[in-house]
Each structure stands twice: as structure tokens, then as C-alpha cells.
Amino acid sequence: MSNNPAPNHRVSKNHAHVWAWLLFCATLTLLVVGGIVTTTDSGMAFRDWMTSDGTFFLTYDWLSSEGDKFIEHGHRLLGALAGFLAIGLFVVCYLTEDRPWVTKFSLVILAGVILQGILGGARVVFDERLLALIHGCTGPLFFALTAAMVVVTSTWWRQNKPASLAADDAMPRRTFQLALICTGLTYAQLVVGAIVRHSPDLTSQLAATVFRVAVYFHVLLAFVLLGHVLLLGMRCLRTGLQRWGGVGLLGLVLVQLALGMSTWVVKYGMPMWATRFVGEWTLVNRKADVISSAIITGHMVGGSLILVISLMIALRLGRQLRVLLPRVTASETRIAEAAQ
Amino acid sequence: MNNSFGRIPWLGVLAVVTMLPGCDSVDPPAFRMNMVEAVSYETAPEYQQEIADVLAALFGTPDEPFALPATGLDQVMLNRSAGPAWSDEAGYNYGLYRKHCVHCHGITGDGRGPTAMFLNPYPRDYRPGVYKFKSTYNPAKPTDDDLHRVLINGVPGTAMPSFSLLPGSEVESLVEYVKYLSYRGEMETKLIQYVFDELGVMEKLDDEGNEIIDANGDPVMERIPFDPTNDPDQREAVMDLLAEVVDAWDGANEMIIAPTEDSIPAEKRSPEELLASIEKGRSLFFDKDKGNCYSCHGPTGLGDGQQDDYNNWQKAHKKFLDETAKLAEKDELDDLEASLLDDREEVAESLYPLRNAIPRNLRQGVYRGGRRKLDIFRRIYAGIAGTPMPGGGPSAPGAKAGALTEEEMWNIVDYVYSLPYEPASQPQVVTPKYTQSITN
């Protein structure tokens, strides 16, 4: 340790990391409210964008609005907040970050939030469900980018404190690959889930077929994903690699399973096969009630959280394994590596 | 930067995003024809188009509904329910049907929305104008209050949710739109039947009413178009058919089943009185000549009696499928039959799998049509329209009395109410005679 250089000032005051966290939290909130917009079908509370009922959206009297308008405008304001935070992140990275690829990555995030905003706006202007579906698919993707930014701007990552894992050690490498597979599968599941969620509102004659196929795929992928995520979580716990991530994944995937089944029940009632075992319920679903909305939206957010945790595990393991990731270029870190 | 993020992929993404809106909105949403009826009545494609045109003239489109004053439907409410979902500046929501109902009941109200196949039971097909849970006699239409009640309470144990959190004006608008879809659906069937009965290919006549003969000595044939705009007789016929539909709905309020005061049990009955009523209800439940409830709901009330029957919607599909299978089994088909078989098979493939009408398990306390005693009484009195559940009372005001008196119906109501609390291990008293009829 004595050979290590003194902590770099710019590293110890990790502004980029703070901005990345702020953006991550804002995006999570944005995702939750976006989910509520879809659950309550509030997307067309205004028929204009970037104005809201003819008023520039930043000056619209949001707190006086109610119902669909309150939800949709809240989503718009959170989108704007994410946009401002993404600008701030880029500026901070530009000014303080000594890794060019991180600065470029912050620019990608800024472009992402702008594109996502335009997509959301186009959904309103064209009143197009299909764009809502795409907007719903790209949302978690943007969320994953912000999560990646949190990881790569962390002091842990920059200082390269954790001991590198031997690249020829099979277990970390397999765990890393498993995390990558989980990330990919989770995103695929989110896309299929978005189709399940949005296709019933399409007016095309193909909507029924699309919904049917999507439901079967969603259930199939759920089983595949459950197996992979359980394996990843348990491997994280057993090997001690990314233990926190493993605990989070195991907890989330079980909650997600329960939320998924509950979502079906509160939206479409008890499936016929299930009534043979549990009988009919006296439960009457109530359209737009808080509990149903929370369950449905929670299922969507749960999927996004599994996505980012899998991604974070993959990134951190990749960092430790030194694979598939850009080489660290900070001069002090190179010195630290040479000194080891 | 330029190396990492070339322009071409971004342009591709932009192009895809620009083109995608067109995928779902090339054609505005349209009502779909009732092909089971159209093919059953061998309606030619030209007539199908003409019927669709007449229906469009009478009822408009899903985005721009229209109701003739003769229907009595409220155009403002229809406008609120139809079209895509949006909100005006005052916060009034529009496109209510598209927002809340279409994914199950379908744009035409045919119960074939995108989610329908997964639901148990299948969503209601509004087009025949038959509704299960209502306060009126079995063949009568439901009242607006009945439809309103179903929307507010939902249907327990099914996918139909309660809309009690929606503003009252929105629920009323949805009721109006559901009626509108039923009017349209009933008219569609009547027009298909009218075309089958009255129109078709006939001998061409000259001005004096004589057949025109061609060079081979055969009569010259011509298709009589269905064109009420230019044919006053057809116009009058169409308006008569519309009046039939509207009159049935308008008369619903006069068909409400109101139990007589004397038959209604007292509010505060002693436990002995209640037990006596339950005992009477039990014996009626198992009485083959009176209630005969056990034959469907089972000796234990678990709904495990007959399991093979269908509701009317499924019966219509079964009949269509059976007739199609019968036609397919024919050894030799002429051109017309072969063409008809193609049409039938195409429609048959689009139908959902048949499902039996499974009697309700009365031990769970789940009553789809409402759990008030009055609701159960009306189910027993009128049965459930469109299902094998028969009524114990007369079929219309002043009609011949049914198998049960009103007092007996209240006894059965008491018994039904007691069933969820009766231990399932306590076997019901079933005489050998009745057990035999079950196994048979």
C-alpha cells in the first residue's frame, strides 16, 4: 500500500459519480411514473408536446392539475429533470473526467435522454400506441445506461481497489458470462413485457395474435430468466463475488414472480387453469385503483431493477476480470497497476 | 467520436422511428362484420359490402359514431366513448371505450379483443343484445341501470373489473356506447337475414314485369342490390328493423321483475324461521319437478352437475362448426359448396375454442350477477339469459306461471346463502331417485 500514489484530488471529490447517482435516481422515479402513465392510460392527457394544453410545459401549473393530467405532466417534468441532470453529468464529466470514453459515454446518455423525450413526444403528437410501446422499451435501456454510468464513475472502479481476479479462474468468468446473459435475457423480457402491456390497446387486426404470442413468450422467458437469475444470485452468494448484487437479485426475482402473477390476476382475473386449484375468488378488480396500479407498475419497475443489477454485476465482474471493457487510462491507475 | 458513432446507424434508427407510426394507423379502426352470421346465411361479398355501408350510414364508425334520432341514443355520450383516448383542457376524458373496454370486448363489441382468448369466461359479445345479469325477464333487454350496475360492481370471479372509481358521467357514457354496439350488432344480424330472405340473384324483368330471355332461351339473371338510399321499399324495411331493435330496448323498464311485497321475507326473522326457510329451500333445490337445481349445480352445490352444455354464444359457434364439419364430410361438392366450405373453414379457424357453460359453485359465495338477495332472487326467477340456467318464474309479465312460486324462490335464496357456511363434508340429503338421475 505504501507504494500506491496519494489519492487523486479529482478522484476523492467524485462529482461525476454524484451526478450519475442523481441521474440514476431521477430515472428510476421517471420510470415509475412512466409505468403509472401506462397503467392508468394517461399518456394522452394532453394532445400537445412540448406544450401542455398550450402552455409551455415548464410553466404549466402542475400542482393544480389532477387525474391523468397530474400523472402525465409529472412524467414530463421528471423527464425534463433527467434531461437537466444528463446535461449536468456531461458538463461535469467534460470538466473533471480524465477518461475520454467516460465523457463520450455521458454524451451518449445525454443523447439517449433527448431521444427518449422525442419518442415520448412523438407518441403524443401522433397519438400512436406503437410509439408508446417503443418508448416503453427504450426507457429501461436508458435506465441501464445510467446504472452503467454509476458503476464506471465509482471510486471503486477508478481506483481499481479490488484485487483483480485471475482471468483463467473459471468461476468468476462463468459468473461474469452468466451476468451478461441475465442482462440480455432481462432486457428481452422487458421488451416482450412491453408488448404484452401495450398490444391489447392496438387497433390493428393483428393485435390479438401479437398479444397471444407475446404472452406465451413472456411466460416462457420468465421461467428461463428465473433459472438464470437464481443461478447468478446463488453463485454470487456462494463465491462472495458481488454478494450485495446476488442478495438483491434473489429477493427481486421472487418479488417479481409474485408481482407478475398478481398483475395478471388484477388485470385479467384468475386464469382458468388456476381456478381448478384455488377456485373462484370473490375479488373484483377495480379499474384504476391504487393497489392494482401499484402491482402492475411494480412489476414493470421490478424488471428494470433486475436489469440494472445484472448489468452492474456484469460490469463489476468484468472490471475485476479485465475483460470486454475499455482499459483504464488514468495515469495514476496505470502506475498503481505497475506497482502491484 | 465519429468512428464510434457513425451517422448511418442513427439515420436508420430515425427512419424506423419515423415509419413506425404508420404500422398501426394506415387504416382507421373499423367495425368487423359478423362472419359467422354472414357465412351461415351465405351472404355474397357484394352484399357484405353493402350491409357494411348501410350499417356505416346508420351507426358511423368506431372513430365517428352516429346514431339516428330514432334510436334515442345520446350522441354526446357516444362521442365521449368513441375514438382514441384523450383528455380535453377541462380534464374530461374521451375515447372511454378504447381506454377501458376494447382490449377485451373488441372494437366491434364482439367479445374478441386482443386479450379475449385468455379470459375465463370469454368477454361478452354485445352484438346479440343478450346480457346475463339484469333485473328484467329472461328474454327482455337489460335496463340502463342493469348495465350501470355491472360496470360499477364488476363481475366477481371474472376479468370484468369494477369501474366504480370512474366519474359517473364516464360510466353513463360507457353504458350508452355498449347499447350502441348492441343496436349495431343486432341490426347487422337482421340486415344479413333480410338480404338472405328478400334479395339475391333473380330473373331480370322488363318494364311490364315479364322475364327477359337471352339468346339461349334462358332467363337473364340479375343481382338485386341492397341499396336503401335509392330504394324506398328497402329503406322502409331497414327502418322497421331498426324500430324492432330499439323498441325492445326501450321497453326494458317495463319488464323489470319486482317481487311481490307479501313474498319478501321479513327483515328480522328468528333463527327458527330462517332455518325452516333454508330447509324448504334445500328440498326445493333437490326437487326434480320444482327447483331441479341439483341437476346442474350438483348434489353438493359445488357446480359439479351437468358439465356438457354451452351458453348461447358458444352454441351458435358449435352449430357453425358442426355444419362446417358436416359439409366437409360430403363426398362430392359442387363449385358453390366448395367455395362455401372454404369460407366456413376460414371463419371456423378464427373462432376461439369452445367452452362448456360450467354451473356456478354455490359454496364459494361468488355471485357474478351481484350478491344482494334481490339479485339471487332474480337469477332464480328469470334464470340467466343466454345460458342453460332456466328461470323458475314466468317468462314475461302475465305469462304462464313457472315451476316455482315467489315464496319458494325466496326459500331457495336462503338455502343458496347458507351453502357457503355449510360444511362441505356434510353430505346433502339426496334420495336414491335423484342420485340415479345424476348418474344417468
Chain A CB contacts of B346 under 8 Å are none
Dist. CA A217–CA A193, nearest whole Å: 9
Please compute the mean of the pLDDT values over residues A193-217 and round it to a whole number. Answer: 93
pLDDT of residue B35: 96
Chain B residue numbers with beta carbons less than 8 Å from the beta carbon of A283 are 156-157
Q: Quick one: closest CA in A to B30, which residue?
A: A203
pLDDT of residue B427: 54
Amino acid at residue number B24? D
Give the pLDDT band of residue A2 (cuts 50, 70, 90).
very low
Q: What is the DSSP letter of B316?
A: H
B255-288 per-position pLDDT tens digit: 999 999 988 998 888 989 999 999 999 999 999 8
Which value, in Å, is the radius of gyration of the alpha carbons in chain B? 27
CA distances (Å), B11 to each of A29, A133, A174, B5, B429, in order?
Answer: 30, 20, 37, 11, 78
Weakest mean pLDDT among A120-134, B14-28, B143-157, B263-277: B14-28
Contact A199 B113 (CB under 8 A): no
| B162 with A286: Cβ contact below 8 A | yes
Question: Does A284 score more than 80 pLDDT?
Answer: no
pLDDT of A321 = 83
Query: The whole model's pTM is what?
Result: 0.88
What is the average pLDDT score of chain A?
Answer: 88
**Residue ranges per domain, chain B?**
29-256, 261-309+357-439, 312-350
Tally A–B CB contacts below 8 A. 140
The tens digit of pLDDT for each residue in B301-351 reads 888 888 899 999 999 999 999 999 999 998 888 888 899 999 999 999 999
Residue B20: is its pLDDT beyond 60?
no
A contacts of B117 (beta carbons < 8 Å): 208, 212
B118/A215 CB distance under 8 A = yes
Grade residue A327 by pLDDT with cuts at 50, 70 and 90: low
The pLDDT score that the predictor gives to residue A9 is 43
State the Cα–Cα distance between residues B252 and B247, nearest whole angstrom: 9
Cβ pair B4:A104 closer than 8 A? yes
Contact check, Cβ <8 Å, A269/B98: no
Give the nearest partner residue to A279 out of B154, B166, B361, using CB atoms.
B361
Closest residue of chain A to B1, computed from CA coordinates: A104
The percent of residues in chain A predicted with pLDDT above 70, rounded, is: 87
Task: Report whether pLDDT(B5) > 50.
Answer: no
Report helix angle A207-239 to A290-321, nearest 10.
50
Q: Using a CB-CB distance cutoff of 8 angstroms, which residues of chain A are in contact with residue B115?
A: 200, 211, 268
Structure confidence at residue B424 (pLDDT): 67
Q: What is the pLDDT of residue B437?
A: 44
Taking contacts as CB-CB distances below 8 angstroms, the residues of chain B near A128 are: 20-21, 24-25
Interval A8-26: pLDDT, tens: 444 456 899 999 999 999 9
Q: Report the percent of chain A where pLDDT is more than 90.
A: 71
Nearest to A285 among B20, B113, B161 (CB): B161
In this structure, whether the domain defined by B261-309+357-439 belongs to CATH 1.10.760 is answered with yes
Q: In angstroms, what separates the C-alpha of B264 from chain A's closest C-alpha?
A: 26
Nearest to A46 by CA among A68, A15, A30: A68
Helix or strand holding residue B201 (H, E): strand B201-203
**How many Å apart are CA B293 and CA B438, to the nearest integer?**
11
Nearest to A41 among B85, B114, B153 (CB): B85
The more confidently predicted of residues B295 and B429 is: B295
Contacts of B89 in chain A (CB under 8 A): 53-54
B20–A130 CB contact, under 8 Å: yes
> Of how many residues is chain A composed?
340
Question: What is the band of B27 on the pLDDT scale with cuts at 50, 70, 90?
Answer: confident
Is residue B61 predicted with pLDDT exceeding 90? Answer: yes
Q: What is the DSSP string of B319-361?
A: HHHHHHHHHHH-S---HHHHHHHHHHHHHHHHSPPP---PPP-
Residues in CB range of A282: below 8 A, 6 or more apart: B156, B157, B364, B365, B366
Q: Render pLDDT for A159-199 as a digit per residue (tens, 0 to 9).
A: 765 566 665 577 888 999 999 999 999 999 999 999 999 99
Residue with cell 441532470: A85
Average pLDDT rounded to a whole number, residues A142-151: 97
Burial of residue A257 (number of CB atoms within 10 Å: 0-12, 13-18, 19+): middle
